[in-house]
Structure 1
């Protein structure tokens, strides 16, 4: 039975046609993670004859962070860092929390997650439904904002639960290693990859995917996508509406040497792209997806037509129904502005200007303090997806 016949419910001509070719059977929820599809994103989202391949990580149960949550927990158990039944404590803005809840169910660990008022009520509800304990900080840290406030609350919970373990995803090398399968999937699906476009938050999936791909394709171009007011690539920290990418600390897992260029994208621009994707390709997501898609659309336009471009979409649209895809919410936050510019602004170095709209920089430097730790000099995790 071909795919179209199945969709249209055409009666099979023989019992053999009822076999579901390629369908997966999963003995555990964790077995549903991985083997996500790629989708061609072309016109009318892109210019005629141009486009890119999108890796749809929203097809994982919770999103791209399912991969690293399961990997980090399994590795910690194998090393004896996470004892049987020990509590998992981490800071998250959503997607990592869903992954850790999945890991908790899979391996039998209670999970305590620290977030802030910016977490969508739908996600907080899902986390509780999956058995996680959700702690919400109520005031930002005067210097480090919500991220630092969450970090401090994580430290308090770790002190209360002596057997607890914190993944410390910003500085945990397992967060990088977890994405080797994603890179292998892309190679199997696309064969050749000339350009990889990835959002950057903890630095895990960008480093883990790009490093493996470049070992196969030495001339791979890697394009990082950040948000305005994020410190990762040397901009000053500021208030950020966008969640899931960007940071107010310097994540230890960001592999600066892998990036050929970085683009910063503002919230209204990401909203426009996420909504345009939904209307034209029926595959979209939230802040990170919108920002990555905006950059990938431009890369596809200005690159040679034979260039094979892969973009990683970290999640799907469902958790953003009340934000990115809600007209009233977007109007209240000034996000329904004009169509983004055709081209990004350009700066030679990150320190040259404070960016406020889509901007490109082809000189990628490591702005981290010499210690390579977070902004406060400690390795405790910051705000994850």
Structure 2
């Protein structure tokens, strides 16, 4: 099957006269099962067709809502922590609504993204050391708090805990329902928890019975695993975002960097439509579900971005060889855990017991 769906209203095809009109209305593409089993596959929502990726949606929404509430005054600075994608969205929002943007990142931000953000007029600060608890994310957030003290009247969207980050994805869910009709399984990467919670919340009203499958990275604490240094960016966390809707997930998968790289490159050679770490991890899990779910199951997977910013990581042979993630085909099925605390996931692992971490094990 070689199908791409864009069943948006006719007005979507007219010339787009504003930047905000460029966000949304992204297509879905049929992705054949990655191991080549005929007749199996899933639908991918290609959020890389937004100017900066999936987080253009929450960036614009969070800033618009903050302005409506009076939390963000005209011309006041926006200050936030980011690994990259939300930063691109906030740069867009700053241009649209007329706000200077100050972003705090870490040395893992790709040079391309850093240079683009600078070109878009944002100021990017880079923290130099991770904190013992919370790692790079908490180090970035600590610097954000300091900057907020230095800039009275500035606004921090706080993507990890802002409910506007969740409600921003209502339109994405409605697009999916219009494009695909009934959806049985939704596969989402999990970082801040925004798009998994927001898309599922709306989709379950439009497709009763839909199941949510979460995709995390090894070394992430979100679903009760121990914190470890993480190579993959865009999914996973060293903190516990309150936007994660733990009760919504029917299962969670942890994926290792080499497995995501294999899937990204397999997507590129087989379907051209590919992306970065989150896309590879999500595609690996969605492809397995396509092989194992009953015939006729409609699986929708969210691809948060495209491949461009990963030219020097995922798609760089030298980088991948240096990090021992090159040409390592994943197993045909994930390992199993009965509970997240049973063992540490070091490669692709699945668990159908999903619980929110308690204060005792955070």
TM-score, normalising length: structure 2: 0.95
**Counterpart for residue 78 of structure 1:** 68
Offset at 1:142?
A: 2.8
CA RMSD of aligned residues (A): 1.5
Q: Does 1:155 align with 2:155?
A: no
**1:214-257 CA-partner distances (Å, limit 9, x unpaired):** 11222111100000010100001110000000000110000011
Among 209, 227, 240, the alignment partner of 2:199 is 209
Q: Does 1:318 align with 2:318?
A: no
CA–CA separation in structure 1 for the residues paired with 2:294 and 2:316: 37
Among 113, 116, 130, the alignment partner of 1:140 is 130
> Secondary structure in 2 aligned to 1:275?
helix
CA–CA separation in structure 2 for the residues paired with 1:79 and 1:368: 32
Distance 1:43 1:343, change over 3 A: closer
> Secondary structure in 2 aligned to 1:312?
strand
TM-score, normalising length: structure 1: 0.89
**Counterpart for residue 39 of structure 1:** 29
CA–CA separation in structure 1 for the residues paired with 2:206 and 2:181: 10
Offset at 1:82?
A: 0.3
User: For this pair of structures, how many residues does the alignment match?
Assistant: 353
CA–CA separation in structure 2 for the residues paired with 1:139 and 1:149: 7
Gaps of 5+ in 2: 1-9
> Is the contact made by 2:34 and 2:267 (CA closer than 8 Å) also made in structure 1?
no
> Is the contact made by 1:50 and 1:300 (CA closer than 8 Å) also made in structure 2?
yes
Offset at 1:163?
A: 1.2
CA–CA separation in structure 1 for the residues paired with 2:289 and 2:202: 22
> Is the contact made by 1:158 and 1:165 (CA closer than 8 Å) also made in structure 2?
yes
**1:278-331 CA-partner distances (Å, limit 9, x unpaired):** 010000000000000000000000011200110000000000000000000111
> Is the contact made by 1:101 and 1:132 (CA closer than 8 Å) also made in structure 2?
yes
CA–CA separation in structure 2 for the residues paired with 1:368 and 1:34: 36
**Counterpart for residue 10 of structure 1:** none
Distance 1:366 1:59, change over 3 A: same
Give the number of the structure whose alpha-carbon radius of gyration is greater: 1
Offset at 1:22?
A: 5.8
Structure 1 stretches of at least 4 aligned residues deviating more than 3 Å after TM superposition: 43-46
**Counterpart for residue 182 of structure 2:** 192
> Is the contact made by 1:45 and 1:281 (CA closer than 8 Å) also made in structure 2?
no
> Is the contact made by 1:277 and 1:284 (CA closer than 8 Å) also made in structure 2?
yes
Gaps of 5+ in 1: 1-19, 376-385
**Counterpart for residue 17 of structure 2:** 27
